[in-house]
Structure 1
Amino acid sequence: MPNARQLHILHFNDVYNIEPAGHIGGAARFVTALRSFAELQPLVLFSGDVFSPSTISTATRGQHLVQVLKACNIDAACFGNHDFDFGVDNLVQCSQETGFPWLLSNIIDRETGRPLAEGLETVCIDHRASGLRIGIVGLVELEWVDTLSTVDPEDIRFFDFCTRGEQLAAKLKSEQSCDLVIALTHMRWPNDRKLARAAHHIDIILGGHDHNYGIEFVNNRAIVKSGTDFRQFSVVSLSIDKSSPLEVKIQTVDVDSSKYSEDPEVAKAVESHVENLEKSMQRVLGQVDCPLECRFEHIRTKETNMGNFMCDIVLTALQADFVLVNSGSFRADCVVPAGDFRLGDLSRLFPMLDPLVVISIDGRTLLATLENGVSMWPALEGRFPQVSGLRFRFDGTRPPGSRVDPSSVQIGDKPMVADTQYRMATKYYLYCGKDGYDMLPGCQLLVDDEDGPVWSVAVQNYFTASGVLRGWLQLKNRHRCRLRPMNRRLSCVVDSRPETEPETAGPPPTKRSRLRKNPRENWATVRREFAPCAAAESNSTDEEPAFAAPRPSVEGRIVETSGLAAGDGETGRGDEEDQREAGE
């Protein structure tokens, strides 16, 4: 096309670890690779997920990525689900410090009437090199929006990405005279394909959320996913001629040490962040009012208050009926003293980035799961369970496979039913069949390891929320982790009406009746539904009461009925989780 105008785009998504993996990737090398295409005068676009999760972000809450993103000279980005991991306040601060616009076109904050996290609805860029006016929208899917633990669903409105995307794209072309509209998305492949089929005014989709590199053409529209972790990016070359269809060429760039050296300034920053990680471990997250029992001889043979506390926190972060994890998850073989709970305590407790998932499990499979959990008792095996929202009894003297009393298993306050499907929160590690839980991979995955939070991040959010309620912390907005189990909250409100100004429309219908509007009544609900968070009564009628420091206890969730002393068996570690920690 001799009269066509040329536009070059550098696109990437889902970057977490700034350190290289051997000779592959790394933020410093990635910046060098991007800059090697400077002669193209490209548009640099990013499709979300950067501020979490990683080992360093556990300490910095994503602040260490700001300098890296600035060095990438990004023109526009959309938010991803993990960008919300440390809360809306933290995300607003990080995103504003990057100096480029962030989009979130189909989620409206009910408090402000504008896109959540101070994102933008659309962006228009006049690209000098090509002479093109380019419109950009940022679209996300409900599947992960409904899993955010730091945003209460009743505080936001979600708009169907197809309807909203088509509406905004048409407006960009008709009212803003855009020659081209790009959708930056953070959605799974099926939803990106759905968008490509439905939104006729969107010219190309540059996506994230999926980590595998991929290119598809759907309805004559390109969908590009550009890998993960600073290992790859795409060079998308467009030829635009109004008399001809859009021509798209895509080049995959692998960030390899044989091709690209490290940018010295970014490499120095990476080294500094790694060195400062140990200092960050002294940061106080919050307080606990009693010692937390985590010695292996206890937590691997019986219910402990540490196990209860950490599993209860999982229920605040995931939409689940109950939680079951392996006690091998808890790596600190000690009693954590009462008082300040520091980031170092959390790091020693959960040194690995353990993603949490939700699966659908029936009563029969749950019984088999519990049987596996107690099958090696009283040996100190990491498969022994810690739970929340679940109670059961077992006899350790009976043969493995027949130790659990089926009539004792309760989900919440109701007996387990063999044919009933339940939502179980657990670790992705167990869903993969590790530690003998080979019955779990056959269960339906409802929230996968990409949409589910990292356990240590959920704990940090819990302490942030409790700090707000105790008056120690102040947030600029009301969005934060809630301290009642997520399965007791509303699901996200969905509105698919094609509104021009969604913030001025009347309230949409909700999926379920709302909580009572009296804050004191709502706090009473929190107290009933999340016992470890119970606080002293307050006379306040318009605020949540002062929040007492956690004082978790042993509540009879797991009861061994034979009376045989735990620890009479083997004391060797030898389970898969220990081998994973040792790098075997």
Structure 2
Amino acid sequence: MMLQSRPSAALRAGFLGLSLLLSGTALAQEAVTIRFVHTNDIDRMSPEKGRGGFARLATVVKEEKAKGNAFFIHAGDTISPSLLSGFDKGAHIIDILNRMGVDAMAPGNHEFDLGDAAFRARMAEAKFDVLATNIIDGNGLPANTKADKVVEVQGVKIGFFGLTTETTPIESSPGTIKFSSTIDTARAKAKELREKGADLVVAVAHTPLAVDMIIARSAGVDVVIGGHDEHLLAFYDGKVVLSEAESQANFVNVVELSVNKATKDGKTTVTWSPNFRIVDTVSVKPDPDIEAVVKGYEDKLSKELDVEIGTTETALDSRRATVRGGEAAMGNLIADAMKAAVGADVALTNGGGIRADKQYQAGQKLTRRDILSEMPFGNTTVLLEVTGAQIKDALENGVSQVRELGGRFPQVSGIVAEVDVKEPVGSRVKSVKINGEPLDPAKTYKLATNDFVGRGGDGYRSFTGAKSLIDTSASQLMASQVIDYVAKAGKVAPKVEGRVILR
């Protein structure tokens, strides 16, 4: 038997490889598994009923990264609204995220709740990549953010970019910061990343679901990691993956792609198939390091926040459907406190700014923490001089989305409005009384509202340009005014009493 020498065997193998190439046979690498560990809309540090919070999220991230080829993606809404953000403007959230190995984050609209200066300060502190692809600050991107990010994993190039809903100026307080079209930006950036050699294109999108779907169907991306609507969603149409992970890290979505990359006749093709895992964090053990950081922040404020300020003699309800769907006792309490604090004729605040989503029993003690949890945005109370006509226009706006539970629903004091929700938007308010007297469209009234609504937020454009009697620079925190109001009274008994009557 003849033994073939090693050089001869190598030569033959070389000729065989060349023959395969010349005959057009594809050369393919083994499938590469890539994981995207996804969270969005998380501002609550600690778990609620054993589910959610940063420590449990951190455990999932660590476990997935230990498997290799894993990216921790945050789809925005995190520095606000939260209890501590009313004090430190979200600095504690960035500190926690800096310890968790975030690979990419897109800002959400709530990143701007505390103003453009606070947004810039938090971005400066971030030690992870913030993708602000469609955000314009001055003549370019916000400082310490990126337009995109390309990472190569075992020969597979992944391009990431971020999108922030262009409705942010209506929903939040971005100041001079502007937002270009999310859909146009997605299409242009996906094309650019493909031209740069990206095999997979991932949009990290803090946009409404309807926009997510347009991007998925028409922008040329492979994956949309979404936030904003707070759905628990894993979607695949045979071409594009769309994921959204509810909120508060109650659930963590893990999107796995098995990627095959092959070259034939000098042309590279990439195919992939997805697998979804939804992790319910009620079954996850908290990461001890992050849990300790969270506890430190909680302890720091507990002594001040847990001070009892008074008692509610009536039941209160600040659940989302309650404060956005009609008159609420909690809304009446807040509006009454605002009106009294600045000596206004009337007060109006948007129900979407009431955030704790909880119920209080009659006879329950109220603490500073309770009040600050209800108003975590750090809003202040401004005093405006407005006409009766402006008040009626504002009320029309306030009830325009009542069926959709829009955040603009008006919680009021000194006002009684009768509304027919069966009428078209803009024609629903049938009568208005101001402190018992019919509203006079030509008369001027002193109106207390929050600074967000006062500058036209949530669609309250009728207040834009109104004369300021107490402007933002001289205004006080709404939460502090409510705390003082309850503390001074000792006992409060707000109730639903027909201030906004829906028919």
When normalised by structure 2's length, the TM-score is: 0.63
CA distance in structure 2 between the partners assigned to 1:142 and 1:298 by the alignment: 30
Match of 1:209 among 224, 228, 239: 228
Does residue 148 in structure 1 map to residue 184 in structure 2?
Answer: no
CA distance in structure 1 between the partners assigned to 2:346 and 2:44 by the alignment: 26
Structure 1 residues 489 and 189, CA gap change in structure 2 (3 angstroms): closer
Which amino acid in the other structure matches residue 467 of structure 2? F
Percent identity over paired residues? 20
CA RMSD between the two structures: 5.0
- How far did 1:13 drift? 0.8
1:435-474 maps to which residues of 2 (within 5 A)? none
**Unaligned residue ranges in structure 2 (runs of 5+):** 1-27, 262-268, 307-331, 354-359, 361-365, 427-448, 477-490, 498-503
Aligned to 2:51: 24
Secondary structure in structure 2 of the residue aligned to 1:272: helix
1:150-229 maps to which residues of 2 (within 5 A)? 150-152=174-176, 156=178, 158-174=179-195, 176-200=196-220, 202-218=221-237, 220-229=239-248
Instruction: From the two aligned structures, give the one with the greater strand fraction.
Output: 2
CA distance in structure 2 between the partners assigned to 1:483 and 1:139 by the alignment: 27
Query: Residues 127-161 of structure 1, C-alpha deviation per residue, up to 9 Å, x if partnerless?
Result: 3xx33221111112223344332424xx53x3322
Secondary structure in structure 2 of the residue aligned to 1:532: strand
Q: 1:139, 1:185 within 8 Å by CA — same for their partners in 2?
A: yes
Match of 1:533 among 455, 470, 473: 470
1:63-74 maps to which residues of 2 (within 5 A)? 63-74=91-102
Aligned to 1:573: 493
When normalised by structure 1's length, the TM-score is: 0.55
User: Aligned pair count?
Assistant: 384
CA distance in structure 2 between the partners assigned to 1:489 and 1:437 by the alignment: 17
- How far did 1:10 drift? 0.9
Aligned to 1:123: 149
- How far did 1:488 drift? 11
Secondary structure in structure 2 of the residue aligned to 1:54: coil
Q: 1:311, 1:388 within 8 Å by CA — same for their partners in 2?
A: no
Match of 1:422 among 385, 396, 417: 396
Secondary structure in structure 2 of the residue aligned to 1:423: helix
Aligned to 1:47: 75
Structure 1 residues 307 and 213, CA gap change in structure 2 (3 angstroms): farther
Secondary structure in structure 2 of the residue aligned to 1:224: strand
CA distance in structure 2 between the partners assigned to 1:50 and 1:21 by the alignment: 16
Secondary structure in structure 2 of the residue aligned to 1:184: strand
Structure 1 residues 136 and 311, CA gap change in structure 2 (3 angstroms): farther
CA distance in structure 1 between the partners assigned to 2:240 and 2:51 by the alignment: 31
Secondary structure in structure 2 of the residue aligned to 1:266: helix
Structure 1 residues 223 and 297, CA gap change in structure 2 (3 angstroms): closer
Q: 1:485, 1:529 within 8 Å by CA — same for their partners in 2?
A: no
1:329-478 maps to which residues of 2 (within 5 A)? 352-353=374-375, 410-412=388-390, 422-424=396-398, 431=409
**Unaligned residue ranges in structure 1 (runs of 5+):** 283-295, 319-328, 330-343, 357-385, 392-409, 447-457, 463-480, 492-524, 536-546, 551-570, 578-584
CA distance in structure 2 between the partners assigned to 1:55 and 1:96 by the alignment: 22
Structure 1 residues 437 and 238, CA gap change in structure 2 (3 angstroms): farther
Q: 2:385, 2:469 within 8 Å by CA — same for their partners in 1?
A: no
1:95-134 maps to which residues of 2 (within 5 A)? 95-109=123-137, 111=138, 113-116=139-142, 118-127=144-153, 130-134=154-158
Aligned to 1:239: 258
Q: 2:82, 2:373 within 8 Å by CA — same for their partners in 1?
A: no
Q: 1:122, 1:135 within 8 Å by CA — same for their partners in 2?
A: yes
Secondary structure in structure 2 of the residue aligned to 1:31: helix
Aligned to 2:37: 10
CA distance in structure 2 between the partners assigned to 1:15 and 1:3 by the alignment: 37
Which amino acid in the other structure matches residue 262 of structure 1? P
